[in-house]
Structures are given as C-alpha cells and as structure tokens.
Chain A
Amino acid sequence: MTIVPIVVAAPLLTAALIALAGKWLPHVVADAAGLAVTGLSLALASVLLARTSARLITYWFGGWRPRAGSFPVGIGWAVDRLGAGFALLVTCLLFAALAYSWRTMTEEHYLFVALLIVFGAAMAGFVLSGDIFNMFVFFELMSVAAFVLTAYQAEEASPLQGAFNFAVSNTLGAFLVLTGIALLYGRTGRLNLAAIGQTLTNQGRHDGLVAAAFALITCGFLVKAALVPFHFWLADAHATAPAPVCVLFSGVMVEVGIFAVARIYWTVFDGVLGEFQSPIRDVLLGVGVVTAVLGAVMAGAQRHLKRLLAYSTIAHAGCFMIGVALLTPDALGGVAAYIVAHAFAKGALFLCGGVLLTRFGEVDELLLHGSGRALPVSAIAWFAGALALASPPLLGTFTGHALIDDTASTMGYWWVPVVLAFATIGSTAAIVRAGLRVYAGAGDPDDPLLADEPGEAPPPQERASLGLMQAIALVLALAGLGVGAWTGLATRAVEAAHTFTDRISYAAVVLDHRALPPPPPETWHTTAASVAWAVVTLVGSAAVGAASVYRNRFPEPLTRALGAALAPLHAVHSGNIGDYVAWLVLGTGIVGGLLAVSVHGVL
C-alpha cells in the first residue's frame, strides 16, 4: 500500500520546495503547486477511504514490518475507515483554504502557502498514525504550523497575543501528553498503539501509573479539543488568524483533539480500563455538557464575528465530546457524521467573515450593520451554513445529532438531546442574529449584551476576486447541508466506528497480520424523536436569532440580569495567559483527577 505515505509526504516535500524556491518564482506558481499537490492528496485519501471499507491498512515505515507476532521496532501506521475519512476531510478543507487564498499579493505569500500545506499534511499524518510517539511528533508539527499561521500578517498586538496564548496553552497540553507517553513507555516498553494496548491488557494492572497516563494524555488532547476549562485559547486564536486558517482550525484541528481522545481510549486503554466505562463516561459527559453550554452562551454575547464563530465551535466541540463520551460505536459514528457537516458549514461561515473583512475592513457585527446587503452570494452562503448547523430535519448536522440523541436516549441519558438542542440553538441563533444584522440590515444598531471589542486590522493585501472567495464559501455551505441529506452516511459512519472501537481486531491486524473481521451490518432509521428535535433546533435557532436582533428593546431588568450573569464569564476570558494556564492546571487537576480516581485500583 505505497500510497499511504505519499498522502502525507508529497505535500510536505512540496511545501519544502515552495519555501526553497518561492522567493524567486511568481506567486501563482506557489499557489498552483500547492493546489496540485493537495488535489493529489485528496485523490489518494479518497482511494484509501474506499479501500478501508472492509480492511485495516497497515504501513510500516523504514521497511520495518515485523513478522507476525514479533516486536514492532519501527513506526507503524494503521489506516482504518474513520482515519481515512478524517484525512480526506482535512485535504478537502485544505484545498478550499488554498483556493480561497489564491493570488494573495503579499511578498511572503509563498511561505504562507507552504506552512498551510504543512499544517494540513501534519493533521492527516496524525490521524493515520498507529504509533503514539509518532502521533506526538505530528501533533507538535501541526501545532507549530498553526502558531505561525495565527501570527501571520501580524501588524498589531492582538494577533500576536492570540498566537502567544495559543502557543503556550497548546504546548502545555503537549507536555501533558508527552508525560503520559513516558509513563506508558516506562510500564510497557512499547510505542506502538496496538502493542501498548495489548501489553496493558495482559498485565491487567490499573494502578496509579495507568490512571495517571490515561488522565494526562486525555487532558492534553482536551486542550487541543478546546473543551472547558482548557478552551480559552481558541477564541483568541480564531479572532486573529486569517479566515482560511480559521476554516482549518474549526473544521479539523479542534476535531483532531476529539479524535485523539477516542483513538487513545479505544486502542490503548479500553482493554485494561473497560470495566470502568461508566465513571469515565460520566466525567467526559460532564466536560462535554459544560463546554456545550458555555460555548452557546458566550457565542450569544459576541460582536466580533470570528470570535462568535469560535465560541460556536466550542459549543459543538462539547457536543462532539458528549458523543464520544457515550463510548459506543453508534454515538461515535454520529460524531463522525457531525464533524463532517460541521466542518463544511463552519468553514463557509468563516470564509464569509473573511469576505466581509476584505471588502469592508471590519469584523464587528454592529459596525457592519447592513453592509452585507452588497454581497448577496455571501448572504446565501452564510444562511446556508447557519441552516446546516441548526440541524434541520434530514440536512446538515442532523445525522450526527440524531445518532447521538438516539444512542443517549437508549442508554437512559434523556437529558443529552436537551443539552445538544440548547447548544445548537444558542450558538446558531447568534450566527442567525449576526447574519440578519449584517446582510439584511435588520434590528437595532446597538445591543446591550454584546461585549466591547477591538476590530481586527484589515489585511493589507489585494485579492484576486471577491467572487471566487464567495463562490468557495457557497460551495462549502451547500456541501455542509448536503452531508445530512446523504442517507448512506450514517450506516457507513457507524460501521467504521465499530472497527474503530474494536481493540482486539485492531491489535490482531497490526501485530499478527490477521484480516479484519467485517463489521456488523448496520441499518439506521430516522426516528420520530430525532426529527422532532430537529424541528425544535431549526425553529429555535431562527426564532431566538431573530429576537436577538431586537435585544435593545428587551425590558431593562431583563437585560440587566443577563448582563450581570454574563459579566463574570467575560471577566474570566481575560486574554491574560496567566489566567488561561491557571485554568488549565485546575482543569487537569479536576478532570484528570476524576478520571484517575475512577479507574484507580486502590479505591
């Protein structure tokens, strides 16, 4: 299976070449090369997705394929269907981001293209990898590239502050992961995911070390996944990164953290910690719920469009974690479907924000009041994206929501659909409100509940055409809607999730070269309950969004009460890195502590 390494190596080589020669070549060459190699990776990832429908493809680097049953001395990749699908999603978004940045005229544009490609390739490598330290290396590669891309075109302090906070937070998260890896290596002496999982299960000890390793690695990836209280860096980073970069951040980078938590749990820890699924589930559900609610509430109080969308991402990340936390293949399949729809829809919204910034030099919702009327294509893209996120019946994120809701209800967690609906309505209403204000000129030009924030400095470059940018946004939005309409997605996602959660077969394929057993055939039917919830979220998002435009006219005591409730939240999101790290430490202590205590043998 030689195409496996090419998916990641070809873009990396091209990025190095672009960096090498880009100074002397015309910009369009760098752009074209980037698009071409991303297109190649996209095609190869699609082939991988097709070939993994009934197989798990392993690839051993350096020719170090171990004989069946012998010790894996090299680095192995294990490509399963969810991994291949995720890699495909990454390449699609990367392609859109590169196309959007086509013919940007700044001098260092070739470096931007090179780093963007490195970022995308690193994420693809991360999800395909089957070796824990190799995952760490790609994790750091994607992080460093992300830090740089956030600080790109930094002419004022705020992008730098965003990049700095982002860098410190995520680096600390990486340290937590590395400490966990060190502990696992100390106990098992292996770095291959399947091998570690097998050894831990055979040893059967769930003592302080295994508990701490599980807690630390999970918390480290929760930082990347921007879950509360590790989420503070996300809004800052999104507010300052350029729009195409935000597409990747919200679409796949945060989701990589979610994927990592799931991957590490299912291949490494499920064997030895499987009997503690119930308390683990409760802890992770708690984290997901708090994140979903906080994200929705904060989104409603933002006037900086990109910060608004960032908090919406946080809300959805909480929902993803709820799905993963249920620890069943059905819910995990739902999360996969949800991530795909969300990525396209959110990407479209960010690109619309970028168009507004380029055209008007503003991302402030109130200052843009009515300006969007000159951009009808953007308006359609914006509302199509909002519609997809509102999870209407049979469109957009509906499939994901329905799978998670149905699974939760079957397991007795009746409140999960309520939380998901709240998160969806809260965050999407904010998007609807902003859209109405900007593109329709509706509502009052003032709002007592919105925070007062500085606007982003306009990018000092000329763009080839607003038309192309808007067209890409529209394509992404329609793709986001269409994902829900594709009836085959649910079955495929759940089948893929079955393979993902099957630790024993994973180890058998990777270490003993056996064949993958076929996943149980899935048939999924839309339930009446899920359609009902979909109608609730659709109507709710539209109604609350429309009402929010007139918040100025709400009765005084109400706005004062809401404002008082929001004030401590705003104070906590202070922009000060010291505060963020303090919360990160507390979060590791509490969430990590709870996870460790749940699985500790002693108690």
Chain B
Amino acid sequence: MTILPYLLAVWIFLVGLVGIVTSRNLIHLTVCVSICQSATYILLLAIGYKSHGTAPVFADIPTSRKVVDPVVQSLTLTDIVVAVAVSALLLALALKVFEAEGSLDPAEIAELKG
C-alpha cells in the first residue's frame, strides 16, 4: 500500500497518546511523549522518500543521481534535538516530583486543582 508508512506514523502517534492518558508513572509518561515524537520523524522521513533514491551525499555519486529529500532529514534532525531537550526536562521534573512527593503517579501528586 502506498500510504502504509504514513499510517504507521499515525498509529504510533495514537499509541503514544493512549500511553499518556492511561499512564500511572511520570517516567512512563515521558517515554510516551517521545513515542509521539517518533511518529513525527517517521512521517517526515516517509514523506521525503523517493523510490530508487539514495542518500543525498554526493561524495562518490554524480549529482544527477536521484536522491531522497535532504530537507526533511534536516527537519528531522532538528526535531530530534527538540525531543531530547523536552525529555531531559520532563525527566528532571519527574525526579524532583518524586523527591517532593514520594510518588510518580499523576493522580496522587495532583495538588493544583480547581
């Protein structure tokens, strides 16, 4: 099927969302957020693929050769760095919540309400 990779990206995104909503552990939740992020990588890279295209590095191939899209790869690279940054931050926050509350369950630590 010609849209299967895109559907895969959508599926992974939805699975990540399910994980977030049903999570009982902040660290598990952070990993689910990065799963949602992975879905966007797959979508971007799948969009840029060209059949019979090779890596866009012209070190040993002529410039006329068909290559996959280099721009989406650059976008994905940026996206990965953003994901790292957010995950690192969320994990640090989760650690501190555990320090303060002794629990990582979102339901138990909810102090701000109303």
Asked if A and B form a direct contact in the complex, defined as CB atoms under 8 angstroms apart, the reply is yes
Interface positions of A (Cβ within 8 A of B): 133, 137, 140, 144, 147-148, 151, 154-158, 160-164, 167-168, 171-172, 174-175, 178-179, 182, 185-186, 191, 235-236, 239-240, 301-302, 307, 451-454, 570, 573-578, 581-582, 585
Q: A147, A453, A576, A577: which contacts B114 (Cβ < 8 A)?
A: A453
Pick 16 A–B contacts, CB within 8 A, sort by A: A137-B78, A156-B100, A157-B97, A158-B112, A160-B100, A175-B39, A179-B13, A179-B43, A182-B72, A185-B75, A454-B111, A570-B113, A573-B114, A577-B20, A578-B22, A585-B21
Which 5 A-B residue pairings sit nearest by Cβ, starting from the closest? A575-B110, A451-B114, A157-B100, A186-B47, A575-B112
Q: Are B106 and A140 in contact (CB under 8 A)?
A: no
Q: How far is the CA of A160 from the CA of B82 in the complex (A)?
A: 20
Q: How far is the CA of A482 from the CA of B6 in the complex (A)?
A: 53
Chain B residues with Cβ below 8 Å from A235 are: 112
CB closest residue in chain A, given B40: A178
Chain A residues with Cβ below 8 Å from B71 are: 185, 191
Chain B residues with Cβ below 8 Å from A137 are: 78, 82
Q: Are A185 and B114 in contact (CB under 8 A)?
A: no
B36 within 8 A of A: yes
B67-114, CB < 8 A from A: 71-72, 75, 78-79, 82, 85-86, 89-90, 93-94, 96-97, 100-101, 106-107, 109-114
Q: Are A453 and B17 in contact (CB under 8 A)?
A: no
Q: How far is the CA of A191 from the CA of B71 in the complex (A)?
A: 10
In the complex, how many angstroms separate the beta carbon of B73 from the nearest chain A beta carbon?
Answer: 12
Q: How far is the CA of A52 from the CA of B36 in the complex (A)?
A: 40
Q: Given A144-B86, A156-B100, A178-B79, are A168 and B20 also a contact pair (CB < 8 Å)?
A: yes
Chain B residues with Cβ below 8 Å from A156 are: 100
Interface positions of B (Cβ within 8 A of A): 13, 17, 20-23, 26, 29, 33, 36-37, 39-40, 43-44, 47, 71-72, 75, 78-79, 82, 85-86, 89-90, 93-94, 96-97, 100-101, 106-107, 109-114
Q: How far is the CA of A140 from the CA of B84 in the complex (A)?
A: 12
Chain A residues with Cβ below 8 Å from B106 are: 576-578
> Interface majority SS on B: helix, strand, loop or mixed?
helix
Q: How far is the CA of A157 from the CA of B105 in the complex (A)?
A: 12
Chain A residues with Cβ below 8 Å from B29 are: 168, 577
Task: A178-B40, A585-B17 given; name 7 further pairs at CB < 8 Å.
Answer: A144-B85, A155-B100, A157-B109, A160-B93, A160-B100, A182-B47, A578-B20
Q: How far is the CA of A575 from the CA of B85 in the complex (A)?
A: 24
